[in-house]
Amino acid sequence: MMFGGDHDQLMSDINVTPFVDVMLVLLIIFMVTAPMMIQGVNIALPEASSEPLHAENEQLLVSIDKNNKIFINDYGVTIDFLKEKLEKILSGREDRQVYLRADKDIAYGVVVHIMSELKSAGVEKLGIVTEPIELDEDADKRS
């Protein structure tokens, strides 16, 4: 009687431990490097007292920095091609809503010109992005 079985056969099971180790290392690498990949446009927004808007999905954002450079989300575009690019982007979207961020040092005329370009591109709803007003706590204590 043989209790141990035949020891000359090959083991056909796959050892998944090395695969799991590699996947965990890759997961940690991506978790550490993902926040470093986020880029944006640096804009000093004007302050206003308003409530934050809650959006379910990613919104289309047009930004103007202090050097009058225009960005659609994070991609630079010139004023000459702004209407054309927005028309192409909005043609594939169900909602025709755009948020406008402009640096507080930008001339009012530039912002109005961009707003007219947005409207002529077919934007139905235009939101203006601002920073909340920070209240001076010392002034509140003195009152």
Nearest CA to 122 out of 79, 91, 80, 78 is that of 91
**Which DSSP state fits 40?**
-
Asked if the model's pLDDT at residue 57 lies above 60, the reply is: yes
**Candidates 3.30.450.20, 3.40.50.1260, 3.10.510.20, 3.30.420.270; correct CATH number of 47-132?**
3.30.420.270
pLDDT at 50: 58
What mean pLDDT is predicted for residues 42-71?
72
Instruction: Using the CB atoms, write b or e for 109-120: b if 16+ within 10 Å.
Output: eeeeebbebbee
**Where in the chain are the domains?**
47-132
Q: How far apart are CA 143 and CA 8, in angstroms?
A: 90
**Which DSSP state fits 4?**
S
pTM: 0.55
pLDDT at 22: 93
Asked if the model's pLDDT at residue 136 lies above 60, the reply is: no
Which amino acid is located at 115 in the chain?
M
What mean pLDDT is predicted for residues 51-58?
61
Tens digits of per-residue pLDDT, 2-51? Answer: 555 556 677 778 888 889 999 999 999 988 887 776 655 565 656 666 56
Q: Is 94 helix (H, G, I), strand (E, B) or coil?
A: coil
Tens digits of per-residue pLDDT, 79-135? Answer: 888 888 888 888 877 788 888 888 888 888 888 888 888 888 888 888 888 777 776
Q: Which distant-in-sequence residues (6+ apart) come within 8 Å of 49 by Cβ?
A: 132, 133
